[in-house]
Amino acid sequence: MTLGKRRTMPAWSYLRKLLFLPIALLLSTLSFAADNWNDTLKQARGQTVYFNAWGGSEEVNDYLNWAARELKSRYGIKLQHVKVDDISTVVSRILTEKSAGRSDSGSVDMMWINGENFKSMKQHGLLYGPFVEQLPSWKYVDTKGKPTTLVDFTEPVEGLEAPWGMAQLVFMHDTSIVPKPPKSMKELFAFSQKNPGLFTYPAPPDFVGTTFLKQAVMELTEHPELLQKPVTDGAFDKVTKPLWAYLDQLHPLLWRKGRTFPTSSTSMLPLLDDGEIGFSLTFNPNAASTAINNGLIPETVRTYVHDKGTIANSHFLAIPFNSSSKAGAQVAINFLMSPEAQIRKANPQVWGDPTVLAPALVSKNDQKKFAELPLGVATLRPEELGTALPEPHSSWVNALEQAWQRRYR
């Protein structure tokens, strides 16, 4: 029996089909994503988004007022800034709502969050998502150059919160009072022995005050690797022993002899302006320039970091699991991550919060705008910020704060 000749596809034709198949799949995926985002935009129109965020900064509040106006005019969304002092109280409220079975129509639609609060919400299933990598603005995020956009206090983000801004601990000093600032914790102690009363820090659990504790313990401990693991009683005692010995000696040399502490880094600015202290500290590298522009501190103030680096992280935006305006919250977050909003936020004359985006990934026009951002008079250049030290595991935060309160309150 003679078999019939089997028709075969020419090699070039087969190859062409293989080459075009991925392109077709890509176009199909992009079309699907675009359709989904258009659906989100339609659902968002008319929604009110209750955004729970710190309200202690005039610059931040003004920026959010601008964002609210833009979201209203462009997308028909009402962004309502609910000002809070401590986001942990918001986390507790959402947990209470979940315990009460309130799985929708929650009181919070969007929140400014990071660190231990994110970890707590993730562990208790209080977050909506993952949603972040589906946002159109995600493609601009500098995940390679800024790895803290993917890991929050050693906790993987996994698309449950969107990076909004960068932060790094910097110290301010009034050059007319302190021409040459100390650039390590040991140098700070030696300086304070000769110049008592010029230094202080915010009382924990203020975020900046707690960051000062973390910075100090990272510099003083002989076991820094333990800070990247969940805290245990044994590790805590071993790591913090030199910290408490240091603070016991430093506190009598502080402003008001360490009998009282400022409530926040913001409350330190009037003291710096009056010359009552010679230092302040902040987690925003542009904060000093912004404060100078606003006439809050002397023009002689400059910033510096410690020789071996300072703690850095990203801060994020998240959506609670029971938000009643999930579409509106996603549109608001996408806008706040956009090049336009990030460029405005990074301007020291507006807020001065460093961007999470990679300028190389945005349009040529937006690259130009990033490059032309005014560098504040007290703002360190990126290369001058030195080493960005990773945050300790989030479990260390509460342990450090409670121990500090027991010893010094």
* AA identity, residue 193: Q
Span 246-265, pLDDT tens digits: 999 999 999 999 999 999 99
Q: Cβ of 325: how many Cβ atoms within 10 Å?
A: 26
Q: What is the pLDDT of residues 139-164, one digit of tens each?
A: 999 998 888 899 998 899 999 999 99
Do the Cβ atoms of 370 and 346 come closer than 8 Å? yes
Q: How far apart are CA 60 and CA 131, in angstroms?
A: 25
**How far from chain centre, in Å, is Cα 226?**
23
CA–chain centroid gap for 1, Å, is 77
* Average confidence score pLDDT of the chain: 91
pLDDT (0 to 100) of residue 18: 46
Would the pTM count as exceeding 0.85?
Answer: no
pLDDT per residue as tens digits for the range 179-229: 999 999 999 999 999 999 999 999 999 999 999 999 999 999 999 999 999
- Cα distances (angstroms) measured from residue 74 to each of 60, 110, 193: 21, 19, 57
- Model confidence at 10: pLDDT above 70: no
Strand order in the sheet with 301-304: 279-282, 170-174, 301-304
At 7 the pLDDT is 42
The total number of residues shown for the chain amounts to 409
Domains and CATH numbers, the chain: 44-165+315-380 (3.40.190.10), 170-312+388-408 (3.40.190.10)
Count Cβ atoms within 10 A of the Cβ of residue 263 and give its class: 0-12 exposed, 13-18 middle, 19 or more buried.
middle
